[in-house]
Each structure stands twice: as C-alpha cells, then as structure tokens.
Chain A
Amino acid sequence: AQTVTQSQPEMSVQEAETVTLSCTYDTSENNYYLFWYKQPPSRQMILVIRQEAYKQQNATENRFSVNFQKAAKSFSLKISDSQLGDTAMYFCAFFNTNAGKSTFGDGTTLTVKP
C-alpha cells in the first residue's frame, strides 16, 4: 500500500512571492505517476501538474513546477509569483498504475495574502 504525507497543514505567502509545498510518499512500486491537485473553496478539484516517475526531468506548468526526488520519494510543488487566485487547498496524489487507483495526502491549505 502507498502512503502520501503532506507535513504542512497550512501555509501562507505574500502575493508575488514564491512558496513551496512539501509531499513525501512511500511505495514499493517502480512505475507510478504523481500529481498535485488544487481545490479552491468552490470545491472543484483541478489538476495543477503531473510527473511521470520514469522521467527525471521535473515537470513545469507556467508558474508551477515540481522538485521530484525519486530516491528520496519526495515531490514538492513550487508556486512562483503567487496570485490571490492560488488560495486553495492543495493535494499531492500518488497514482498506482498497476492498481489503477490514487492515494491522496491530507492536503495543505495555502493562503495568498495581498
């Protein structure tokens, strides 16, 4: 079974600053995907970024990038130039390709302050 740990229940950042959200996971699988999802107060879960475990290059999507350290089983999310609209709960997720299921962390509530 997989476990996903997000050690920061809450974080805050000033608008335009950079913030990093932490995520670690534990698995014996070799092939998997990792995701960061954003859940704003509207409740709709939105995919932010994904990383294939077999790729060494860190994924980047505009202001969002990850630091994927496979050996350390770490998958952090960096948000650059934070915007007020980034205020949301962020979930790290591990997708087990063999089982076809995801395991989610408990989430980090991020508040961007003006």
Chain B
Amino acid sequence: GAGVSQSPSNKVTEKGKDVELRCDPISGHTALYWYRQSLGQGLEFLIYFQGNSAPDKSGLPSDRFSAERTGGSVSTLTIQRTQQEDSAVYLCASKKNGGYEQYFGPGTRLTVT
C-alpha cells in the first residue's frame, strides 16, 4: 500500500515568508508526528497528533510554528516569518492505533535564504 507522502520535497523561501509543509499519512493510521532534522543531526520532535485528542505541541520551538490535522488525516505544518535557522529537513511519520512503529515520509527539505 501507499506509504507516508510529503510535499513539497524541496522548498526554498526567502527570510520572512510563510511556508506550509504537507503530510499525507498512511490510510487508517491514527497517530501523526512532525520532526525536524538539521543537517547531519538527529530528529527533534515538534508535534504529535493522536486521533481526536488535543495535539502534543511540546516540541514546537516558537509561536511561529503551528500544525493542524484535518479530518484525522492530512496534516499541514506552517512556519510563519521564516528565519535562516529554520532551514532543515522536516519529517512526518504516522503510526497505527495500538502499534509502536512509526512509518516515515521522505521529508521536505526547507532552505531559507
């Protein structure tokens, strides 16, 4: 079946612009995660959605970052007034209810110039 997809695969934007990154999880997966990965580094947790529960936003680095998940499926991560330090790969993962393994998308590479 189809895996997790993310779009765009690459995004170049100017400092101060807003960007939206999209994640399509595996159909039927109830949990969805966003991570940020700086060049050659580990994964930094950003936000976690589980079903209809309130999302865990504890990893969002500033109020410029927000995310929503519509209809329990597609999620959008929005970064407002982008800064150069926002440049990174943004990874999305989904997980089925009752499972423990996360399935990752290919990521979006964001470059802020």
Chain A positions within 8 Å of B, measured between CB atoms, are: 33, 35, 37, 42-47, 50, 89, 91, 95, 97, 99-107, 109
Q: Nearest Cβ in chain A — how far from B6, in angstroms?
A: 10
| B42, A91: Cβ atoms closer than 8 Å | yes
Q: Which size bracket describes the interface of B in this complex?
A: 20 to 34
Apart from A43-B106, A45-B93, what are 18 other A-B pairs with CB-CB below 8 Å? A35-B101, A37-B104, A43-B107, A43-B109, A45-B91, A45-B104, A50-B101, A91-B42, A91-B43, A95-B100, A95-B102, A102-B102, A103-B45, A104-B42, A104-B43, A105-B42, A107-B41, A107-B42
22 contacts between A and B (CB under 8 A): A35-B101, A37-B104, A42-B106, A43-B109, A44-B104, A44-B106, A45-B91, A46-B104, A47-B101, A50-B100, A89-B40, A100-B31, A100-B56, A101-B45, A101-B56, A102-B102, A103-B45, A104-B43, A106-B41, A106-B42, A107-B41, A107-B42
CA gap between A104 and B93 in the complex, in Å? 13
Interface residues of B in 4-54 (CB under 8 A from A): 31, 33, 35, 40-43, 45, 48, 50
Q: Nearest Cβ in chain B — how far from A68, in angstroms?
A: 15
For B31, B100, B106, the residue with the greatest tally of chain A CB atoms inside 10 Å of its CB is B100
Write out the residue numbers on chain B whose beta carbons fall within 8 Å of the beta carbon of A105.
Answer: 42
Write out the residue numbers on chain B whose beta carbons fall within 8 Å of the beta carbon of A37.
Answer: 104
Write out the residue numbers on chain B whose beta carbons fall within 8 Å of the beta carbon of A101.
Answer: 33, 45, 48, 56
CA gap between A100 and B43 in the complex, in Å? 16
Write out the residue numbers on chain B whose beta carbons fall within 8 Å of the beta carbon of A106.
Answer: 41-42
Write out the residue numbers on chain A whose beta carbons fall within 8 Å of the beta carbon of B40.
Answer: 89, 107, 109
Question: 1/0 per position for B102-113, CB-CB distance to A under 8 A?
Answer: 111011010000
Write out the residue numbers on chain B whose beta carbons fall within 8 Å of the beta carbon of A95.
Answer: 100, 102
Write out the residue numbers on chain B whose beta carbons fall within 8 Å of the beta carbon of A44.
Answer: 104, 106-107
Write out the residue numbers on chain A whose beta carbons fall within 8 Å of the beta carbon of B104.
Answer: 37, 44-46
Write out the residue numbers on chain B whose beta carbons fall within 8 Å of the beta carbon of A45.
Answer: 91, 93, 104
| B89 located at the interface, meaning its Cβ lies under 8 Å from any Cβ of chain A in the complex | yes
Question: 1/0 per position for B76-113, CB-CB distance to A under 8 A?
Answer: 00000000000001010100000011111011010000
